[in-house]
């Protein structure tokens, strides 16, 4: 055996060899499982701040020709990659939907890789397939609350699926609209269905110009990707109720009718349960009525907000979700599962037959291979993480997490409202809110009606942007920012701070510190000086 061959063999056998415990990688592993928080605070230290600098560490496109020792490589990873990654576990990291995970996922992740199951087919996953189907059933039950008999007859039926597991909300939305499209453009006469004959033939067979989708302007950008991919075209996303955060059912109905009257067909209405930017929830129950009246599919994108259903306190906010034809859920958001855990759920267990595919060597007719109705092919056993989380936390554990997040977001909103120099822009519907730094005298000025609000808002936008960047770069805490249109200033967009309360370890004290830090950064900004001197000159002009 050559040296190279021996080394390769070593790489694959090493699990059985105790000596690998001495390598740097094993030390990392030990450190991670002994004390993750200590590992993160020691190693994720942002040695470099600018992305351009970090790019210098990754600017070599040459393939590594010679193998290197795992230990050497592990050191390289620590030095170049881990240091300059983001500590999403920090309780002061409240800007995005990605946050801390319960500790047991670290070991489960190892189990997942250790087993390396492929859920595309039973031959490479065995028990994982019924497990995934059960998880989909549990989540279906959370949304649709069907009878025991319903689940007994559908959970493991080869001809049915209660949903499709996938890598995330984006693929879940694509999957839902894929099924909706194929059902809408089903075989008819000599036309064998869009799945076989394509869109051009479908539009001809159904005598329509276009297929459209209605959502609010807060609809997730993945809907744009979905209609692009499905051949429907981004121009056929109809944004209803554009001066509101949520859809107005009357406007949706009128828009849908007008669209159909022009020789088009309506594919779907998409309601959002927890918009990504502001957390708003569309009036789902009323939208279900509108969809029924228009004869179109009703999809609810509950990627982020869906976990609210675990809470008896707040579940009613999503009333009507149980009438959706399909629902998107992301377990890697408010279910605290590692990334790669999205789901589409179908009200009708027969719906997914519209996208069923068969192949000779797997996914044979009548088989229960999950791959025959999923968009993705090879897929890992992430459903196990959802399964375990459901067992370890239970419904009541999730309820507690959801309730605490929402209550903390409300407390934070109160703190912002009580502070003279901050302005709450959107109230928290769930645990997401937006606000900005706006000194008291500027607020008074904006309300005075004598000013050009757009010029002042532009100054405030610059200030918000500067504060957000500096806070991020200082590395103690993180809020995100976005641009929003709000009713107070109909023709403008405002730059605002966006906060997502997710980490259960975030305390009111952390939130106070974040506001204080923002004030400290703000008062040292040239943008603030510019703004105040602008006000001065306006004041003088008015006087
Ligand atoms: C996060 C999110 C998505 C996209 O999910 P990914 O998991 O990022 O693909 C879609 N819709 C909403 C409302 C979301 O919050």
Q: Give the ligand 1 atom nearest the CA of 342.
A: 7
Count CB atoms within 10 A of the CB of residue 401. Answer: 21
Does 429 share its domain with 294?
Answer: no
Q: Give the ligand 1 atom nearest the CA of 173.
A: 10
User: Does residue 220 lie in a domain region?
Assistant: yes
Domain boundary pick from 327, 351, 381: 381
User: Does residue 94 lie in a domain region?
Assistant: no
Query: Closest residue (by CA) to atom 5 of ligand 1?
Result: 169
Does 71 share its domain with 160?
Answer: no
Angle between helices 453-474 and 508-523 (to 10 degrees): 120
Write phi, then psi, for 483 (nearest 5 degrees).
-115, 130
Q: pTM of the prediction?
A: 0.94
Ligand 1 centroid to Cα of residue 540, in Å, is 49
Ligand 1 centroid to Cα of residue 326, in Å, is 15
Strand partners, 265: 211
Mutate to test the pocket of ligand 1, among 308, 318, 321, 328 (most ligand atoms within 8 A of CB): 328
Count CB atoms within 10 A of the CB of residue 23. Answer: 17
Ligand 1 centroid to Cα of residue 336, in Å, is 14
Per-position pLDDT tens, the chain of length 543: 788 788 778 777 766 665 556 688 889 999 999 999 999 999 998 888 789 999 999 999 999 998 888 889 999 999 999 999 999 999 999 999 999 999 999 999 999 999 999 999 999 999 999 999 999 999 999 999 999 999 999 999 999 999 999 999 999 999 999 999 999 999 999 999 999 999 999 999 999 999 999 999 999 999 999 999 999 999 999 999 888 899 999 999 999 999 999 999 999 999 999 999 999 999 999 999 999 999 999 999 999 999 999 999 999 999 999 999 999 999 999 999 999 999 999 999 999 999 988 766 666 777 889 998 999 999 999 999 999 999 999 999 999 999 999 999 999 999 999 999 999 999 998 999 999 999 999 998 888 866 778 889 999 999 999 999 999 988 889 999 999 988 888 888 999 999 999 999 999 999 999 999 999 999 999 989 988 888 888 776 655
Does 136 share its domain with 283?
Answer: yes
pLDDT at position 15 is 64
CB 298 within 8 A of CB 253: no
Ligand 1 centroid to Cα of residue 170, in Å, is 6
Ligand 1 centroid to Cα of residue 191, in Å, is 35
Does 64 share its domain with 124?
Answer: no
299-326: burial string, b at 16+ Cβ within 10 Å, e else: bbbbbbbbbbbbbeebeebbebbbbbbb
Domain boundary pick from 341, 357, 381: 381
Query: Closest residue (by CA) to atom 8 of ligand 1?
Result: 169
User: Does residue 103 lie in a domain region?
Assistant: no
Query: Closest residue (by CA) to atom 3 of ligand 1?
Result: 169
Does 138 share its domain with 219?
Answer: yes
User: Does residue 172 lie in a domain region?
Assistant: yes
Write out residues with Cβ below 6 Å of ligand 1: 168-170, 173, 220, 222, 272, 276, 301, 303-304, 330, 342
pLDDT at position 531 is 87
Query: Closest residue (by CA) to atom 12 of ligand 1?
Result: 303
Domain boundary pick from 85, 102, 137: 85
Q: What distance in Å separates the CA atoms of residue 338 and residue 385, rounded to the nearest whole number?
A: 8
Number of domains within the chain: 3
pLDDT at position 345 is 98
pLDDT at position 93 is 94
pLDDT at position 387 is 98
Ligand 1 centroid to Cα of residue 168, in Å, is 7
Does 219 share its domain with 81?
Answer: no
Mutate to test the pocket of ligand 1, among 220, 272, 376 (most ligand atoms within 8 A of CB): 220
Strand partners, 330: 342
Mutate to test the pocket of ligand 1, among 164, 276, 386 (most ligand atoms within 8 A of CB): 276
Q: Give the ligand 1 atom nearest the CA of 168.
A: 7
Does 427 share its domain with 531?
Answer: yes
Ligand 1 centroid to Cα of residue 304, in Å, is 7
Q: Give the ligand 1 atom nearest the CA of 220.
A: 11
Does 408 share its domain with 375?
Answer: no
Ligand 1 centroid to Cα of residue 7, in Å, is 42
What CATH number corresponds to the domain at position 375? Answer: 3.40.640.10
pLDDT at position 7 is 77
Ligand 1 centroid to Cα of residue 534, in Å, is 40
Torsion of CA 110, 113, 114, 117, to 10 degrees: 140
HEC string for 229-293: HCCCCHHHEEECCCCCCCCCHHHHHHHHHHHHHCCCEEEEEEEEECCCCCCCECCHHHHHHHHHH
Mutate to test the pocket of ligand 1, among 303, 332, 337, 432 (most ligand atoms within 8 A of CB): 303
Ligand 1 centroid to Cα of residue 73, in Å, is 34
User: Does residue 110 lie in a domain region?
Assistant: no
Does 121 share its domain with 266?
Answer: yes
- Domain ranges, residue 183: 117-381
pLDDT at position 139 is 98
Q: Give the ligand 1 atom nearest the CA of 169.
A: 5
Q: What distance in Å separates the CA atoms of residue 158 and residue 167, rounded to the nearest whole number?
A: 22
pLDDT at position 473 is 87
Does 352 share its domain with 410?
Answer: no
Ligand 1 centroid to Cα of residue 366, in Å, is 32
pLDDT at position 187 is 95
Does 177 share its domain with 254?
Answer: yes
Ligand 1 centroid to Cα of residue 4, in Å, is 45
Does 371 share its domain with 418?
Answer: no
User: Does residue 105 lie in a domain region?
Assistant: no
Mutate to test the pocket of ligand 1, among 173, 215, 222, 229 (most ligand atoms within 8 A of CB): 222
The H or E element spanning position 330 is strand 326-330
User: Does residue 390 lie in a domain region?
Assistant: no
User: Does residue 362 lie in a domain region?
Assistant: yes
């Amino acid at each position: 055996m050559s040296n190279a061959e021996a080394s390769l063999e070593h790489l694959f056998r090493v699990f059985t060899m105790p000596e690998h415990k001495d390598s740097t990688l094993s030390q990392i592993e030990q450190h991670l499982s002994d004390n993750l928080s200590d590992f993160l605070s020691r190693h994720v230290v942002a040695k470099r701040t600018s992305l351009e600098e970090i790019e210098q560490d990754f600017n070599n496109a040459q393939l590594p020709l010679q193998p290197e020792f795992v230990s050497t490589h592990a050191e390289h990873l620590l030095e170049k990659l881990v240091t300059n990654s983001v500590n999403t576990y920090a309780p002061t990291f409240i800007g995005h939907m990605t946050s801390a995970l319960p500790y047991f996922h670290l070991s489960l992740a190892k189990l997942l890789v250790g087993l390396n199951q492929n859920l595309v087919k039973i031959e490479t996953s065995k028990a994982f397939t019924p497990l995934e189907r059960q998880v989909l059933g549990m989540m279906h039950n959370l949304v649709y609350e069907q009878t025991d008999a319903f689940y007994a007859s559908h959970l493991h039926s080869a001809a049915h699926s209660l949903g499709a597991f996938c890598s995330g909300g984006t693929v879940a939305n694509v999957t839902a609209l894929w099924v909706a499209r194929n059902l809408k453009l089903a075989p008819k006469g000599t036309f064998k269905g869009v799945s076989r004959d394509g869109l051009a033939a479908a539009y001809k067979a159904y005598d329509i110009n276009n297929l459209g989708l209605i959502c609010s302007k807060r609809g997730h950008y993945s809907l744009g990707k979905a209609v692009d991919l499905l051949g429907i075209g981004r121009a056929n996303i109809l944004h209803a109720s554009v001066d509101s955060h949520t859809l107005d059912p009357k406007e949706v109905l009128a828009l849908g009718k007008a669209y159909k009257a022009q020789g088009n067909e309506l594919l779907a209405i998409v309601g959002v349960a927890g918009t990504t930017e502001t957390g708003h929830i569309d009036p789902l129950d009323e939208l279900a009525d509108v969809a029924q009246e228009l004869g179109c599919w009703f999809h609810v994108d509950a990627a982020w907000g869906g976990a609210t259903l675990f809470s008896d306190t707040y579940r009613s906010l999503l009333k009507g979700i149980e009438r959706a034809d399909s629902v998107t859920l992301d377990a890697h958001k408010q279910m605290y599962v590692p990334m790669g855990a999205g789901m589409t759920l179908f009200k009708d267990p027969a719906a997914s037959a519209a996208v069923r595919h068969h192949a000779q060597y797997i996914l044979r007719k009548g088989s229960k291979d999950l791959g025959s109705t999923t968009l993705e092919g090879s897929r890992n056993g992430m459903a196990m993480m959802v399964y375990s989380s459901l067992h370890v936390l239970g419904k009541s554990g999730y309820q507690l997490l959801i309730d605490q997040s929402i209550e903390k977001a409300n407390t934070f909103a109160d703190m912002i409202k009580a502070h003279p120099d901050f302005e709450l822009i959107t109230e928290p519907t769930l645990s997401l809110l937006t606000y900005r730094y706006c000194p008291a005298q500027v607020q008074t000025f904006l309300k005075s009606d004598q000013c050009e609000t757009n010029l002042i808002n532009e100054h405030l936008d610059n200030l918000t942007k500067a504060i957000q960047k500096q806070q991020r770069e200082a590395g103690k805490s993180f809020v995100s920012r976005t641009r929003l249109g709000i009713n107070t200033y109909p023709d403008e967009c405002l730059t605002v701070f966006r906060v997502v309360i997710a980490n259960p370890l975030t305390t009111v004290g952390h939130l106070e510190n974040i506001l204080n830090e923002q004030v400290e950064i703000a008062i040292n900004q040239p943008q603030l000086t510019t703004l105040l001197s602008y006000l001065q000159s306006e004041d003088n002009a008015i006087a």
